[in-house]
């Protein structure tokens, strides 16, 4: 009487083992993918931070404190929900100007191409 149920137990148990193994594999694959993505993402971030430094933006800006210009985090927060913000900031980085944050103007940047300005604007908007 006891036997069939023991067998069922074993069968179910081994099925469970198998599905646990598959689950573990999936988790491991997920972690690996995640870790790889993390590496790429942080590498891209480091590159962009160097790029921003190379354009002398950090002379007047910091990520999260006010210098001559507003902190990049504050800029990102302010334009977070504004459509067209990237284009607006791209233009501002190119031609400079004042009035959005105070009376101090941001100078036009000759060493920044249109493509650079777009990349910088995109980077600034990511600093949340």
Tell me whether residue 42 or residue 54 sits nearer to ligand HEC (CB atom): 54
State in angstroms the smallest separation of the CB of 118 from ligand HEC.
11
Applying CB under 6 A, the residues found at the interface with ligand HEC are 55-57, 59-61, 68-70, 75, 89, 92-93, 97-102, 104-107, 109, 112, 120, 124
Among candidate residues 106, 124, 14, 128, the one with its CA nearest the CA of residue 60: 106
State in angstroms the smallest separation of the CB of 22 from ligand HEC.
48
In angstroms, what CA-CA distances link 102 with 19, 68, 69, 99, 106? 61, 10, 9, 5, 10
Tell me whether residue 18 or residue 53 sits nearer to ligand HEC (CB atom): 53
Tell me whether residue 26 or residue 126 sits nearer to ligand HEC (CB atom): 126
The rounded distance, in Å, linking the Cα atoms of 72 and 61 is: 7
Exposed e or buried b for every residue in 61-93, given b needs 16+ CB within 10 A?
A: beeeeeeebbbbebbbeebeeeeebbeebbebb
State in angstroms the smallest separation of the CB of 94 from ligand HEC.
9
State in angstroms the smallest separation of the CB of 106 from ligand HEC.
3
């Amino acid at each position: 009487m006891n036997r069939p149920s023991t067998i069922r137990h074993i069968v179910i148990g081994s099925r469970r083992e198998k599905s646990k193994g598959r689950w573990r594999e999936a988790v491991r694959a997920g972690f690996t993918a995640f870790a790889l993505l993390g590496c790429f993402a942080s590498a891209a971030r480091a590159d962009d931070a160097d790029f921003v430094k190379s354009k002398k933006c950090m002379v007047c800006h910091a990520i999260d404190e006010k210098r001559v210009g507003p902190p990049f985090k504050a800029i990102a927060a302010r334009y977070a929900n504004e459509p067209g913000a990237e284009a607006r900031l791209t233009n501002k980085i190119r031609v400079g100007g004042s009035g959005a944050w105070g009376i101090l103007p941001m100078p036009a940047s000759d060493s920044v191409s249109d493509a650079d300005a777009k990349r910088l604007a995109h980077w600034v908007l990511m600093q949340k």
